[in-house]
């Protein structure tokens, strides 16, 4: 399994390099045709590059630390048995700490489902994993400012909770009517 993901990573890297190559080629061609735009394009790119490069190593270190110090089985252990308001906030917190793409969280969510965790908590966990990551919020802070970041964060937490409850109700309701249909 580990080997497979490594191979996948390699393939992804090749794809990304290809993407970069194509974009670079387009940029060079465009700038050769319209040399008067060169200054604007380069100064704009340079500004964003500087902003990014000053925080990217720090963000990566934070992500690495989370990945190692908050392993997945800890999440399953804590979330499998918590409930109520505390459960939902714990789910969001647990989703916000570790890092990695969303698809890493699916198996964790499946394990939680099997353990009998509430659906609302699992949805909150998945959503938090997707969009309330702490390193992510830091980059958002850098580029979009404190007000934007805090407002979006609070609204997201609120609506993720609502969404979890709504989905749970829908699932429970449909389970009542058609008792059979469950996923394998």
Partner 1 sequence: MNVTTVFINALAAVCLVFALIKDTTKTKQALKIAIISFFRIFPTVLAIIIIIGLLSGFVPESQISKIVGENAGFRGVLTVAFLGAILHIPSLISFPLAASLLEKGASITSVAVFITTLTMIGMVTLPLEIRILGKKLALLRNGLSFIIAIIIGLIIGVIL
Question: Minimum CB separation from partner 1 for residue 153, in Å?
Answer: 10
Is 44 among the residues that bind partner 1 (CB under 8 A)?
yes
Contact assessment for residue 92 and residue 122, using Cβ atoms and an 8 Å cutoff? no
Q: Interhelix angle for 72-79 vs 119-131, to 10°?
A: 140
Phi-psi sector, 82: left (phi>0), alpha (psi -120 to 50), beta: beta
Single out the segment in contact with partner 1 by CB under 8 A; choices: 80-88, 90-98, 150-158: 150-158
**1: which 2 tokens?**
């399994």
Strand (E) or helix (H) holding 111 = helix 102-115
Closest distance to partner 1 from the beta carbon of 64 (Å): 3
Judged by CB under 8 A, which of 83, 115, 170, 172 binds partner 1? 170
| 8 binds partner 1 per the rule CB under 8 A | no
Contact 112, 125 (CB under 8 A): yes
How many chain residues are in contact with partner 1, going by CB under 8 A?
Answer: 83
Question: 87 or 95, CB closer to partner 1?
Answer: 95
111-130: contacts with partner 1 (CB under 8 A): 113, 119, 122-123, 126-127, 130
Angle between helices 119-131 and 146-177 (to 10 degrees): 150
Nearest approach in angstroms of CB 115 to partner 1 is 14
**Closest CB to partner 1 among 88 and 123?**
123
| Shortest Å, Cβ 78 to partner 1 | 19
Helix (H, G, I), strand (E, B) or coil at 180: coil
Strands (DSSP E) contained in the chain are none
Q: Residue from 7, 8, 11, 58 that binds partner 1 (CB under 8 A)?
A: 58
**26 touches partner 1 (CB under 8 A):** yes
Residues 66-95 that bind partner 1 (CB under 8 A): 67-69
Q: Pick from 79, 159, 157, 73: which is nearest to 121 by CA? A: 79
């Amino acid at each position: 399994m580990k080997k497979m993901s490594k191979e996948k990573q390699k393939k992804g890297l090749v794809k990304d390099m290809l993407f970069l190559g194509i974009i670079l080629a387009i940029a060079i061609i465009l700038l050769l045709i319209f040399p008067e735009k060169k200054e604007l394009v380069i100064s704009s790119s340079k500004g964003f590059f500087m902003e990014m490069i000053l925080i990217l190593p720090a963000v990566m270190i934070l992500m690495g630390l989370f990945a190692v110090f908050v392993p997945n089985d800890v999440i399953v252990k804590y979330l499998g048995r918590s409930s109520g308001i505390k459960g939902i906030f714990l789910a969001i917190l647990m989703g916000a700490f570790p890092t990695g793409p969303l698809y890493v969280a699916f198996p964790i969510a499946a394990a939680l489902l099997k353990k009998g965790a509430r659906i609302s908590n699992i949805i909150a966990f998945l959503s938090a994993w997707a969009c309330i990551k702490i390193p992510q919020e830091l980059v958002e802070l850098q580029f979009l400012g404190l007000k934007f970041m805090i407002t979006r964060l609070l609204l997201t937490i609120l609506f993720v909770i609502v969404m979890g409850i709504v989905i749970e109700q829908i699932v429970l309701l449909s389970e009542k009517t058609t008792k059979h249909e469950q996923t394998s």
